[in-house]
């Protein structure tokens, strides 16, 4: 039996939950019924002490000497990640990176889907790209409100990023995955996760040169 804890979990733990969920789903599909923290550690490259501490925030998830029941743990994390509910996402910027994201469209998960694209390129407006309708960015606020979207992916040029962000926030967007190099300013009730591919690659190059253990 899984016992819930009322503790608010750290952000670092929250970021690891999708990783745990993905590997547990793989284990279940492989026919494995239980797993230890040491086995999880070896597979996902997170030390076992961190895994046990992460799991402890949620209460009693496993038994000493037995490990964790894969199916029960997967079900628990699915609920934590709201995997039983489909989340539709807006994509603002349907250029090369946007097209790549549309092509991917979160195929490894069944609870996230890009449902609307926005751009200012007339050759893209009012077309269907990878099964997703593309709207004029002028209609951004209207469509986000009509479709009740709360999450957006931003892949526009740097000079447009803040202006688009302001419009997203005004339309009711609560979370933005930012692929632009610009640091965005948003109200406290809006969360931004930035993905700077150049910085990530430079960081990777640095670590491969000066660290030999494979961990960051």
Q: Quote the tokens at residue 48.
A: 């076992």
Express each pLDDT in 80-99 by its tens digit.
Answer: 877 667 889 999 999 999 99
Query: How does the average pLDDT of the chain come out, rounded?
Result: 86
Q: Quote the tokens at residue 38.
A: 């040491």
CA–CA distance, 156 with 200 (Å, rounded to integer): 19
What pLDDT is recorded for position 17?
87
What pLDDT is recorded for position 109?
65
3-class SS shares of the chain: helix, strand, coil, % to 5: 45, 20, 40
Which phi-psi region, left, alpha or beta, contains residue 40 (left: φ > 0; alpha: ψ -120 to 50)? alpha
- Neighbouring residues of 151: CB distance < 8 A, sequence distance ≥ 6: 87, 88, 89, 90, 173, 174, 175, 176, 177
- Reported confidence tier of residue 5, pLDDT bands at 50, 70, 90: very low
Express each pLDDT in 43-63 by its tens digit.
Answer: 888 998 999 888 888 876 776
* Nearest to 74, CA basis, from 135, 29, 132, 124: 29
* Nearest to 47, CA basis, from 75, 77, 72, 12: 12
Give how far Cα 135 sits from Cα of 2, 68, 116, 147, 209, Å.
45, 46, 7, 12, 45
> Taking the mean position of all CA atoms in its chain, how far away is CA 138?
27
Is the CA virtual torsion 137, 184, 204, 23 positive or negative? Answer: negative
The yes-or-no verdict on residue 129 having pLDDT over 80 is yes
Residue 67 vs residue 124, higher pLDDT: 124
What pLDDT is recorded for position 162?
98
Q: What is the DSSP letter of 155?
A: -
Residue 215 vs residue 153, higher pLDDT: 153
Express each pLDDT in 179-212 by its tens digit.
Answer: 999 999 999 999 999 998 888 888 888 778 877 6
Enumerate domains of the chain plus CATH numbers.
11-80 (1.10.10.10), 87-199 (3.40.50.720)
What pLDDT is recorded for position 175?
97
């Amino acid at each position: 039996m899984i016992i819930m804890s009322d503790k608010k979990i750290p952000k670092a733990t929250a970021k690891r939950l999708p990783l745990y969920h993905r590997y547990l789903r793989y284990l279940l599909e492989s026919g494995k019924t239980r797993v230890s923290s040491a086995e999880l550690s070896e597979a996902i490259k997170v030390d076992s002490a961190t895994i046990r501490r992460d799991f402890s925030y949620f209460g009693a998830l496993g038994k000493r000497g037995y490990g964790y029941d894969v199916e029960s743990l997967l079900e628990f994390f699915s609920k934590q990640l709201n995997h039983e509910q489909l989340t539709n996402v807006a994509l603002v910027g349907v250029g090369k990176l946007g097209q790549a994201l549309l092509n991917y469209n979160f195929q490894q998960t069944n609870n996230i889907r890009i449902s609307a694209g926005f751009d200012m390129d007339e050759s893209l407006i009012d077309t269907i790209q990878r099964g997703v309708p593309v709207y004029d960015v002028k209609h951004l606020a209207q469509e986000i409100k009509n479709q009740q979207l709360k999450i957006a992916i931003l892949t526009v040029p740097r000079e447009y990023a803040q202006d688009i962000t302001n419009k997203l926030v005004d339309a009711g967007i609560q979370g933005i995955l930012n692929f632009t190099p610009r640091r965005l300013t948003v109200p406290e009730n809006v969360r931004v996760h930035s993905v700077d591919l150049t910085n990530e690659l430079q960081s990777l190059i640095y670590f491969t040169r000066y660290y030999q253990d494979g961990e960051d």
